Structure 1
Amino acid sequence: MNNPSKVIDLVVNNNLCIGCGMCVSQCTSNALEMSWNDQSFLVASAKNTCDCNGACLNVCPFNPFPKEEVRTENEIAELFLDSATDHHQKIGKFNNIYAGYSKEFRLSSSSGGLGTYISTELLAQKIADHIFSITESSEPGIFYQYSVSSNIEDLLNASKTRYFPVTMATVFSEINNLHGTVAVVGVGCFIKAIRLAQYSDPKLKEKIPFLIGIICGGVKSTFFTEYLGSKLEVEIKNIQKPQFRKKDISSSANDYSFSCTDENEEEKSIKMRTVGDLWGTGLFKNNACDFCDDVTTELADISLGDAWLAPFDNDGKGTNVIVTRSILAESLINKGIENKDLEVDFLALDTFLASQQGSFNHRHTGMSERIKIAKKNNQLVPPKRYEKEEVTLDFKMVQKQRMKVRALSLVLWKNDPDAKVFDEKMQKPLNRLRFYTKIYHKRRRFTYLKSRILEIIKKKIFSKKTFN
C-alpha cells in the first residue's frame, strides 16, 4: 500500500490500539476498518490507501504525537468541562462525588443502576434522542456490540457490564444519519476519543451533548470469555449469552459470578472469587491499558463505577460511586434525589480516593516504569502525566512481572485454549508476581507505620516544649 494510515503505522503497529474505532469514522479517505487481531482484540486495519492528512490519528486516544492543546486529559478537560467547580490531580475536574443507587434499575444492573437511570432520563427529558451503548449481538461468537437505542425499551437491553471487546466504529459511521442528538456510554479511552473528535469537528459538540463514563479496570480480550467458559467446561464454540457480573443479592457486592449457556441452552456459572485475581494480574488485558492514566473517566459529564468500599460492598444488590463533572450531570442527580428515584448521598473525597487506590497505584505510580520498559524495547508510547513518578525497586519488580504476565497470558491461550493447561503454565509466573507484590505491600506498610510513629513522636516533643 503506497500511503499507509498513520494510525496503523504509529498506533496499531506499536500495540497501542484499544479498538475504539473513532479513527474509522473520522478517516476522510475511508481507508480503515476494524478487524480482529491474533490476540483477539478489535483493532484498526487498512483496507485501502489513506490520504486523510492525519485526521484518523488526531482522534486516537493513544496517539503518540498528539497536538499540544489536547496533549493529555488535563488539556482536554479544560476545553470541555469548564463548568466543573473543583479539581483533584487524581480524578480530574468535578462538581460533586456521591454513592448510591437507582431504586428502579438497581437489581437489573451490574452495580447500582445509575448508568441505566441516567440514560433513560436523557431520553425521557429529550436531552438526547439516541444513546450509543453496548447491547447483545446476533453475530455468532461476537456476543456484544455498540448499538443505537432510541427508546427506553431498547435501552434496557444494555444495562449490564460487558467485559468483551467492542468498537464504536459502526455506530459513529452512522451518526450523521441520525436525526437529533446522541449521548454515549463508554470507558475512559473511548470517551477521550469522542472528545478528540469533538475538538477536531466542533459540530460534534452539539450532536453529542452528554457522555456517560464507566470507570474501567482494563479492556479484556475475547480470550477472557473463552477462559471462563472453559472453567465451566463449555467448549469455546458453544459459549452463549455470557454474563460477567451475575449478582448474589444475599452476599457481598464483589461476590458475583460469571455465567453462560452451553449448546443445550443449560446455564452454568462460577463464582469469580474462586477463579483468582484476573484484574490485578493483568491477565488477557490490552497492552494499551498499561499506558492509560485515566482512572475515573475524567472527560465524561458523569463518571460511574462500583462502590468497592465499606459499607457499600457488603450489599450484594450493588452501589455506584458517582462523579459529576458538568452542570447537566449535577442537575440529573439532584432531580433524581428530589423525585426519590435515587437513593444517593454525598461521598467524602478521601473515601472515594481510597476506593480507587489500587488503580491509582498501578496507573499513576507505576506508569513511569512501564514507559521506561516500553521505550527500552523501542516502542512508542503516548505522553502521560505520570511519566516522571519515582518508583521504588520493589514496585518496579511488580510492574515488570505484571507486563510479562499480561503478554504471556495472551500467547498461551492463543496456542492452547484450555483452562486447566493455562492455569498450570501460568502458575509460576503468577506466583512470582504475587511474591513481588507481597514484598511491595509489606514495604509500604512498614513505611506507613514508620511515618506514623515519627509523626506521633514529633507531636509529643512539640507539646512538651509548648507545655514547658
Structure 2
Amino acid sequence: MNIPKVINLVVKNDLCVGCGICVYKCPSNALEMAWDKNGFLFPKVISSCDSEGDCLEVCPFNSIPKDEVKTENEIAQLFLETENHHQKIGKYKQIYAGFSTEFRLSSSSGGLGTYISTKLLENKIVDHIFSIKESSEPGIFYQYSVSSSKSDLLRASKTRYFPVTLATVFSEINQLEGKIAIVGVGCFIKAIRLAQHSEPKLKEKIPFLIGIICGGLKSSFFTEYLASKMAVEIKNIRKPQFRKKDFSSTANDYSFSCSDENEEEKSIKMKTVGDMWGTGLFKANACDFCEDVTTELADISLGDAWLDPFDKDGKGTNVIVTRSLLAENLIKEGIKNKDLEVDFLPLEIFLSSQQGSFNHRHKGLPARIKLAKKKNQLVPPKRYENETVGWDFKLVQKQRMKVRAESLAVWQHKKEASVFDETIQKSLKKLNFYTKIYHKRRRFSQLKNKVIVKINNRIFSKNKNQ
C-alpha cells in the first residue's frame, strides 16, 4: 500500500492541524479523519493510494511547497485590488473596531462573523456558509456544518475551542448548488486558498472567506480539563460553551460552562484556571510553527479587541481587517445602515492589540524552528525564520514547547484536573520564572534606549546652539 505523502511529511512530523482538505483532495479516497491519542483530528490511511501528492498540495504545513505558494506573502497576491501592506498583518484595505447591533449579545465577541455571514446570504453573494455548529454525535461536541439561512447561522455564532475538520463538509462542495463562504482560522483558510490554487474552479465556488484570528488550536483535552475543574465527568459533558460573557464585567472576564448528565449547567471563570494560552497548554504542535497572526488570506479577518477602552466592555467588541473590496463594501454598508457600531482603528493601535501573538509567533519562531530541526523535524518555509532571538526569550520558547507536550502526555494518563495541576506545576513555575527574566531584561533594554535617545537629543541640541 502506498502511503500518501501528507502522512509522511506532515502527520508523522506532528504538523497536522486537522483541516481535512487533504481528504477531499486525495485522488484515491485513501484518507479519512480520525482522533489521535492527544485529542486531535488527523488523516489516516484507509486504502491504497497512487501517491501522486495531491493531498500535500493543499496542506498548510507542507514542508516542500511550490514557489508560487511558498508563504502567505505569495498566496496573498490574489488580493489584486488591495494596495496596503504591513509585514505583520499582510495585505489589507482598512482596519476597524466595533460590533453588530443585532448579533453582539448572542456572539462570543462583537458579532461581526454572524453579521457578515448573514449579509452574504441576504445579498445573494453566496448560497451557503460552512461554519461550526453543535454536533449530535456522542463526544463530538462541535463540527463544521452547512448553513443556508439566517436561522441556521444563529446556531453557529459562538467561539468553539474544540477540534473540528472541514472534511465533514468539503466533500459536499461539488454537490451543493450555488456559491459558498467559509469561516475558519488561519491554517484552515490557507488550506482553502491552496485548494483554490490547485483547483481554480474553487475560486468561483468559494468567493468569500471569513477569517477568525486564532490564539492556537486546542485539543479535546482542553474541554475535558475545564469540565473536570467543575467536577463534571468526561462521559457526562454536555453542550460546552467556551466564551460565556458577563455583560456587567470586562471583555476578558468570561466563563466556560457545560451541562452534566442531569442537564444542570455549571460554569467556571476562565480567570480562575490560570493562563491557558500563553503557556501553550493542550495546544497543537503545528501552532508553534504558524506565523499568521491575523488570518492574512481571508477576505475579512475578525478578532477580539483586547485593548483599551474596548476590553472594559463585557458585551464584546471585534477588531476587523478588510482585505478584499467586497469585504470593505460590506462593512461600509453596515456603517451606513447603522447595523454596525464601527470606527476606524489606527494601524499602530491594532498592532498593539495583537502584540502578544506577534512576540510569540514572529519573534520567538526562529528559536522554535531551531529546536525542531535539532530533532530532525521538518518545518515549512517561514518568513521570520532568520530573526535574531535573545538567550532569555530562547529559554521561554524552549520551556513553552516542553509545557505544551507535557500537558498532552499528562492528561492522557490521568484525566483529572487536580492531579494534572499538581503534575504540571513545576514546569509552569519554570516557564513563569523564565518569562519574568525576559520581561525584566526587555524593560531594562527599553529604559536604556530611552536614556540614550535623551542623551543624543541633548548633545544634538547643544551642538546646534553652539
TM-score over 0.5 for the pair: yes
Aligned residue in 2 for 1:18: 17
Q: Is the 8 A contact 2:3 2:51 kept in 1?
A: no
Of the three residues 266, 276, 279, the one matched with 1:278 is 276
Question: Does the alignment pair 1:70 with 2:69?
Answer: yes
- Counterparts of 2:376 and 2:332 in 1: how far apart (Å)? 50
- Does 2:45 match 1:49? no
Partners of 1:460 and 1:112 in 2: CA distance: 47
Distance 1:242 1:12 in 2: 28
Q: Trace 1:252-291 onto structure 2 (pairs within 5 A).
A: 252-291=250-289
- The aligned runs of 1:330-345 (5 Å cut-off) are 330-345=328-343
Counterpart AA for 2:29: N
Between the aligned partners of 1:317 and 1:466, the Cα distance in structure 2 is: 54
Amino acid at match of 2:158: K
Structure 1 Cα separation of the partners of residues 318 and 440 of structure 2: 31
1: CA distance, partners of 2:116 / 2:447: 43
Question: C-alpha distance in 1, partners of 2:367/2:48?
Answer: 37
Q: Does 1:293 align with 2:294?
A: no
Amino acid at match of 2:152: D
Q: Distance in 2 between matches of 1:86 and 1:262?
A: 49
Report what 2:121 is aligned to.
Answer: 123
Aligned with residue 371 of structure 1, among 349, 356, 369: 369
Aligned mate of 2:456, from 455, 458, 461: 458
Structure 2: distance between partners of 1:89 and 1:270: 38
Residue 83 of structure 1: CA displacement? 1.5
Q: Deviations over 1:68-121 (max 9, x none)?
A: 11000000001x211112000000000100000000000000000000000000
The reply to whether residue 422 of structure 1 matches residue 420 of structure 2 is yes
> Does the 8 Å CA contact 2:16/2:286 hold for their aligned counterparts?
yes
Q: Which amino acid aligns with 1:211?
A: L
2:88 aligns to what? 90
Matched, 1:200 2:195: no
Alignment equivalent of 2:109, drawn from 111, 121, 134: 111
TM-score (norm 2): 0.99
Give, in angstroms, the shift of residue 286 of structure 1. 0.3
Equivalent residue letter for 2:439: H
Partner of 1:60: 59
Q: What SS does the aligned partner of 2:190 have?
A: helix
Distance 1:94 1:467 in 2: 45
Give the 3-state SS of the residue equivalent to 1:176 in structure 2: coil
Q: What letter is aligned with 1:144? A: Y
Paired residue secondary structure (2:174): helix
- Residue 322 of structure 1 corresponds to 320
Question: How much does 1:52 deviate?
Answer: 4.8
Q: Residue 34 of structure 2 corresponds to which residue in structure 1?
A: 35
Q: What amino acid maps onto 1:314 in structure 2?
A: K
Q: CA RMSD in A?
A: 0.6
Question: What amino acid sits opposite 1:179 in the alignment?
Answer: E
2:434 aligned residue: 436
Q: CA deviation at 1:158?
A: 0.3
Cα separation, 2, equivalents of 1:214 and 1:85: 22
Cα deviation code 1:116-136 (max 9, x no counterpart): 000000000000100000000
- Identical-residue share of aligned pairs (%): 73
Unpaired segments ≥5 residues, structure 1: none
Higher deviation after alignment, 206-215 or 48-57: 48-57
CA-CA distance at 1:50 after TM superposition = 1.4
Q: Which amino acid letter does the alignment assign opposite residue 223 of structure 1?
A: F
Instruction: Give the aligned residue type for 1:435.
Output: F
- Whether contact under 8 Å (1:83, 1:325) holds in the other structure is no
Aligned counterparts, 1:212-227, within 5 A: 212-227=210-225
Counterparts of 1:364 and 1:356, CA distance in 2: 11
Equivalent residue letter for 1:152: K
8 Å CA contact retained: 1:130, 1:149: yes
TM-score of the superposition, structure 1-length normalised? 0.99
Between the aligned partners of 2:168 and 2:267, the Cα distance in structure 1 is 31
**CA-CA distance at 1:224 after TM superposition:** 0.1
Once the 2 structures are TM-superposed, how far is the Cα of residue 318 of structure 1 from its aligned partner? 0.3
One-letter code of the match for 1:228?
Answer: L
Give, in whole Å, the separation in 2 of the partners of 1:322 and 1:417: 38
CA contact under 8 A between 2:2 and 2:51: conserved in structure 1? no
